[in-house]
């Protein structure tokens, strides 16, 4: 019997909550094992993801694309390179050239310096954001829209954060996945567009949230504004340890666009009615890895249950939105796992996968455990439904299907499960 | 009237074919403008992609995932970091530390060397393949399958190629998107599995090909074998300039797995019936960027047409497989483009996008051109269908829809188009 269903912020302090979620993420295949990965994602950086983390992240990325591509017809996807020979970004040089210089004992101090300077000139820079790449694609994209504003260029991809300030502590170059929409509009409408996208983005984050009130937005302070920006808006999530920025929106005016463009300024001109203008730029930039973590925290529920003997049990359920849930259905077997039951499982799993329903082969893990433990495991994985194949299924085709959210177990014919799941998933997506 | 429909290898030599396709890719939004991007992708590296290239590449990646995830239940997705502190891969160091050393005039030669050695010790290495990351995830993944073989770990992601040999010519670090399936199986079955995956992968490449015979496979020679591999198979594509490798499959035995694992060997043990074995590893590694180019070349057709005045016209059609085609339908308007027609276009486009049909807002480009030129443009873009909205549509709801592959134009009611397209796309996917 379920007695309470609130986040137990009262019984667990914040650092407990954080470490409990991190432990759950590692043991339930969201993030790769190791302290390193758990630290990494807590700092808004990418980490090694396990099978469920990969799918959660890719579901978020897919939804982001759907939202920007479908909200307005005038958004085009682009893809730019991570590294270039450039002055901006994280600059790195090839080890081997430096090694050669160091190991050559015949060089004088001046010769070493000259060589090093030569090596530095050929340094490679890794992008720290996707903005610059989009600005460079602005002029070639004008043809697509016949110079008509507004339109946008969208991209998701890995960027490399600046190396940590304390140089002794870095042993890797931080990376994160950025979602970027760069929106070009007329100067007189840029302020409205900033408002439009701020609203749209906040709505998007909240759409998939269990607790929408943990997602908020506020104006950026003058110190936080990106260079050249006249106004900025941040979309925030309240993590147990404090508030962090998930996405930032900046009205960059036309300065950055003009700076990024070599050559004649007239190539940047667009139509605004009968006038010709250099567009203003709204940059909408999100951190997908931090988004993954926000949704994980947001969906974690602690449920209390009192058993027949009046003993209190506490269990964790990852109530991820059905659209984001990496596993829609787990296929598992009751006791007496035989070859025959396994074949039924394989067939059913295949049917789900072919219908595009992400399914988990629970029957592979034949460690015998109680039904209770099995359900806890799937609840912690955020699995929407668990299908149980038993001896019964072989006789009359009936199986049991349990819902994560209601914990209700139903009996259903094996031929009906696929349609039931497809309907549930598409209904949840359209809410 | 169409008179001939063969690839005109006779009338065009290979270098013409290459430059024609590259030009088409740049002008039709597949790759970003510039000689650099065109060179880059020809060498099997990633380049800046335009809106259509982004979608083509992502369709290929999606199909790859579907094929490896659905072919066998025991494949799990993972995601590893691009850079780490490591000895393997492309090693790079931070510019700023070197700059500081060079600009400090008070340092002696020995001090400079000591500092540089210190900097080199903190170098970051970028992965050159996804294999190593998967091998490291092997032990933590054993729990997923209860130590039962076979199973696989799948990942797609950016890797950094080794810097060019001629160090003076590089001005960037080459990058490419790799698809990687690392398959763990018992030693006694590894040879069969290599055959299984080689067949499966070749079938997959051919499935989407217009000319399947350009995709082939052969055994790797001893020199081409990856270190530790007992046998290798390459999947090749015949480009106009010669044959290139799209994917390689290696039977790596257990050496690489043992090397990648620190600590007790027993942690690597799996079940083979009643025995306990260290699994053999089959590595299946593809270059997605080269795959994009292979499908572009493979689908380019030169069609000849004789007009009423007996004049010969030649046109190019990008006959990409319907599943891979980045744009399923273009929405355009006839002459007399009014506000009303544009609104109909916007509504229809929105309807397509919401149904998950990738649609192109052709009506945005209002440069008046002939119907002939418009169809050439969409054929070069590989657009499956072109929907034309006209004054007529406003009156009776009828529009014209033209197929890229048959060039036949039909009249259809506006309310029927979506269902028609959805049926066509799903039928093509199941062939």
pLDDT at A203: 96
Closest of B251, B249, B233 to residue B187, by C-alpha: B251
CB of A269 within 8 A of CB of A278? yes
What is the ipTM for the molecules in this complex? 0.91
Picking from B288, B303, B298, B287, the residue whose alpha carbon sits closest to that of residue B320 is B298
pLDDT tens readout for residues A312-337: 878 899 999 999 999 999 999 876 66
- At the topology level, CATH places domain A21-90+126-162+173-296 in BirA Bifunctional Protein; domain 2 (3.30.930)
Residue-level length of chain A: 431
Count Cα atoms within 13 angstroms, Cβ side, for B55. Answer: 28
Alpha helices by DSSP H, B208-316? 255-260, 288-299
Question: Would you say the C-alpha torsion A349, B253, A26, A313 has a positive or negative sign?
Answer: positive
User: CB distance B70–A350 less than 8 Å?
Assistant: yes
Rg (CA), chain A: 26
A168 band by pLDDT with thresholds 50, 70 and 90 = very low
Q: What is the bridge-based pairing of β-strands B90-94 and B359-361?
A: unpaired
CB atoms within 10 A of CB B82: 24
Q: Tell me, what DSSP letter sits at residue B211?
A: S
Q: Find, in chain B, the residue whose alpha carbon is nearest to that of A161.
A: B83
Considering only alpha carbons, which residue of chain B is nearest residue A365?
B146
CA dist B27 and A163 (Å) reads 38
Residues of B in contact with A158 (CB under 8 A): 82, 158
> Is residue A365 less than 8 Å (CB to CB) from chain B?
yes
Name, in order, each residue with C-beta under 8 angstroms of A412's C-beta and a sequence gap of 6 or more: A398, A399, A400, A401, A420
Q: Where are the beta strands (DSSP E) in B109-230?
A: 124-126, 151-160, 175-185, 215-219
By the 10 Å C-beta count (0-12 exposed, 13-18 middle, 19+ buried), A318 is classed as buried
**3-state percent breakdown (helix, strand, coil) of chain A, nearest 5:** 40, 25, 30
pLDDT in the model for residue B269: 93
CA distance A13 to A26: 20
Nearest-CA distance B160 → chain A (Å) = 10
- Mean pLDDT over A386-409 rounds to 94
pLDDT band at A296 (very low <50, low <70, confident <90, very high): very high
Under an 8 A CB cutoff, do B81 and A124 touch? no
Position A73 pLDDT exceeds 70: no
Other C-beta atoms lying within 10 Å of the C-beta of residue B51 = 24
Residue ranges, comma separated, of all CATH 3.40.50.800 domains in chain A are 327-430
Nearest to B154, CA basis, from B229, B258, B68: B68
The nearest alpha carbon in chain A to B142 belongs to A365
The rounded distance, in Å, linking the Cα atoms of A82 and A159 is: 7
Secondary structure (3-state) at B228: coil
∠ CA B155-B150-B72, nearest 5°, is 60
CA distances from A232 to A113, A120, A163, A179, A251 (A): 43, 35, 25, 17, 6
Distance, CA of B12 to CA of B314 (rounded, Å): 12
Q: Can you give the pLDDT at residue A336?
A: 62
CB contact under 8 A, A92 and B92: yes
**Total length of chain B:** 431
From B32, B98, B124, residue closest to A172, measured CB to CB = B124
CA distances B145 to A332, B189, B257, Å, are 13, 18, 18
Furthest-apart CA atoms within chain B: distance in Å:
87
CB contact (8 A) between residue A48 and residue B160:
no
**CA B122/CA A279 separation, integer angstroms:** 44
Indicate the residue of A74, A116, A173 with minimum beta-carbon distance to B83.
Answer: A173
Give the chain A residue nearest B76 (alpha carbons): A51
Closest by CA position to A246, among listed A211, A206, A282, A210: A206
Cα–Cα distance measured from residue A315 to residue A261, given in angstroms and rounded to the nearest whole number: 56
Q: Which pLDDT band holds residue A72 (cuts at 50, 70, 90)?
A: low
Q: Nearest by CB to B79, which of A54, A97, A172?
A: A54
Chain B CB within 8 Å of residue A70 CB:
yes
Nearest to B161 by CA among B25, B290, B19, B51: B290
Residue A351: predicted pLDDT: 93
**Other C-beta atoms within 10 Å of A57: how many?**
23
Helix (H) or strand (E) holding A312: strand A312-318
Angle at A175 between CA B103 and CA A99, to 5 degrees: 40
Alpha-carbon span B290 to B47, nearest angstrom: 11
By C-alpha distance, which of A85, A207, A73 is closest to A150? Answer: A73
CB atoms within 10 A of CB A219: 12
A-B Cβ pairs (cutoff 8 Å, strict):
203
Average pLDDT of span A257-276 = 87
Taking only the tens place, the pLDDT of each residue in A185-244 is 999 999 999 999 999 999 999 999 999 999 999 999 988 888 888 999 999 999 999 999
Q: Is the pLDDT of residue A165 over 90?
A: no
Look at residues A256, A264, A267, A422 and name the one whose alpha carbon lies nearest to residue A352: A422
Contact residues on chain B for A170, CB-CB shorter than 8 A: 122
Distance, in Å, from the CA atom of B205 to the CA atom of B194, rounded to the nearest integer, reads 17
Contact predicate B115/B101, CB 8 Å: yes
CATH node for A327-430: 3.40.50.800
Query: Chain-wide mean pLDDT for chain A?
Result: 88
Look up tokens 């053999």; give the residue: B280
Cα-based distances in Å from A242 to A44, A239, A337:
13, 5, 47
Q: Kindly compute the dihedral angle of the four CA atoms of residues A82, B173, B61, A144, in this order, to the nearest 10 degrees.
A: 50
Could you give the C-alpha distances from A252 to A39, A182, A233, B21, in angstroms and in order? Answer: 33, 10, 12, 37
Buried b (16+ CB within 10 A) or exposed e, B108-137: eeeebbebbeebbebbbbbbbbbbbbbbbb
- pTM of the predicted structure, to 2 decimals: 0.93
Residue B325 and residue B384 in contact, taking contact as beta carbons nearer than 8 Å? yes
CA distance B5 to chain A (A): 30
* Least CB–CB distance from B69: residue in A29, A109, A353: A353
| Sequence-separated (6 or more) residues with CB below 8 Å from residue B313 | B304, B305, B306, B307
Which residues face A52 on adjacent strands?
none
pLDDT band at A10 (very low <50, low <70, confident <90, very high): very low
A54 versus B41: the higher-pLDDT residue is A54
Would an 8 Å CB–CB cutoff place A217 in contact with chain B?
no
Residue in B77, B139, B166 to test binding to A, most A beta-carbons within 10 Å: B77
Q: What integer pLDDT is reported at residue A337 of this predicted model?
A: 62
> At B83, is the secondary structure helix, strand, or coil?
strand
Q: What are phi and psi of B356, to 5 degrees?
A: 80, 15
pLDDT tens, position by position, for chain B (431 residues)? 344 434 444 445 788 889 999 999 999 999 998 878 888 888 888 999 999 999 999 999 999 999 998 776 689 999 999 987 766 777 888 888 888 888 888 888 888 888 888 888 888 888 999 999 999 999 989 988 889 899 999 999 999 977 655 444 445 688 999 999 999 999 999 999 999 999 999 999 999 999 999 999 999 998 888 888 899 999 999 999 999 999 999 999 999 999 888 888 888 999 888 889 999 999 999 999 999 999 999 999 998 877 778 888 788 999 999 999 999 999 998 766 688 898 999 999 999 998 999 999 998 877 767 888 899 999 999 999 999 999 989 999 999 999 999 999 999 999 999 999 999 999 998 76
**Predicted confidence (pLDDT) per residue in B234-246, tens digit:** 999 999 999 999 9
Give the pLDDT of residue B234.
97
Bridge partners of residue B283, in order along the sequence: B182, B250
- For chain B, the straight-line distance linking the first and the last C-alpha, in angstroms and rounded, comes to 29
**Cα angle value B189/B192/B195 (rounded, 5°):** 150
Inter-chain residue contact B140 with A92, CB threshold 8 Å? no
**Would the CB atoms of A81 and B361 count as touching at under 8 Å?**
no
Per the rule left: phi > 0, alpha: psi between -120 and 50, beta: everything else, B119 is: alpha
Closest CA to A175 of B158, B180, B138, B287: B158
Q: Where in chain B is the domain with CATH 3.30.930.10?
A: 21-90+126-162+173-296
């Amino acid at each position: 019997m379920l007695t309470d269903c609130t986040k137990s912020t009262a019984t667990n302090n914040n650092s407990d909550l954080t470490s409990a979620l991190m432990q759950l993420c590692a043991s339930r295949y969201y993030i790769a094992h190791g302290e390193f990965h758990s630290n990494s994602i807590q700092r808004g950086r990418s980490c090694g993801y396990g099978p469920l983390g990969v799918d959660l992240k890719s579901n978020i990325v897919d939804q982001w694309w759907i939202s920007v591509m479908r909200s307005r017809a005038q958004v085009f996807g682009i893809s730019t390179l991570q590294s270039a020979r450039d002055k901006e970004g994280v600059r790195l040089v090839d080890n081997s050239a430096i090694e050669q210089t160091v190991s050559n004992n015949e060089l004088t101090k001046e010769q070493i310096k000259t060589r090093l300077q030569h090596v530095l000139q050929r340094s490679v820079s890794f992008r720290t954001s996707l903005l610059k790449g989009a600005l460079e694609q602005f002029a070639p994209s004008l043809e697509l829209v016949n110079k008509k504003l507004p339109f946008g260029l969208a991209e998701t991809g890995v960027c490399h954060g600046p190396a940590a300030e304390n140089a002794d502590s870095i042993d890797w170059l931080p990376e994160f996945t950025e979602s970027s929409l760069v929106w070009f509009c007329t100067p007189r409408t840029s302020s409205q567009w900033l408002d439009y996208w701020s609203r749209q983005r906040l709505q998007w984050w909240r759409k998939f949230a269990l607790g929408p009130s943990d997602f908020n937005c506020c104006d950026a302070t003058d110190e936080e504004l990106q260079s050249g920006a006249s106004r900025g808006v941040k979309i925030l999530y309240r993590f147990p340890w404090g508030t962090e920025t998930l996405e930032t929106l900046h009205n960059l005016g036309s300065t950055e666009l003009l700076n990024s463009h070599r050559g004649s300024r007239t190539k940047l001109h667009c139509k605004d009615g009968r006038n010709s203008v250099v567009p203003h730029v709204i940059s909408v930039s999100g951190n997908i890895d931090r988004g993954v973590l926000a949704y994980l925290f947001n969906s974690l529920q602690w449920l209390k249950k009192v058993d027949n003997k009046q003993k209190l049990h506490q269990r964790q359920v990852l109530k991820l939105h059905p659209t984001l849930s990496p596993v829609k259905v787990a296929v598992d077997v009751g006791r007496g796992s035989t070859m025959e039951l396994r074949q039924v499982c394989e067939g059913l799993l295949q049917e789900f996968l072919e219908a595009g329903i992400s399914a988990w082969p629970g029957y592979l893990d034949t460690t015998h455990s109680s039904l209770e433990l099995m359900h806890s495991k799937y609840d912690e994985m955020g699995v929407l439904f668990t299908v149980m194949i038993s001896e019964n299924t072989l006789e009359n085709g009936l199986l049991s299907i349990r819902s994560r959210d209601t914990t209700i177990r139903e009996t259903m014919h094996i031929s009906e499960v696929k349609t039931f799941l497809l309907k549930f998933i598409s209904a949840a997506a359209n809410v």
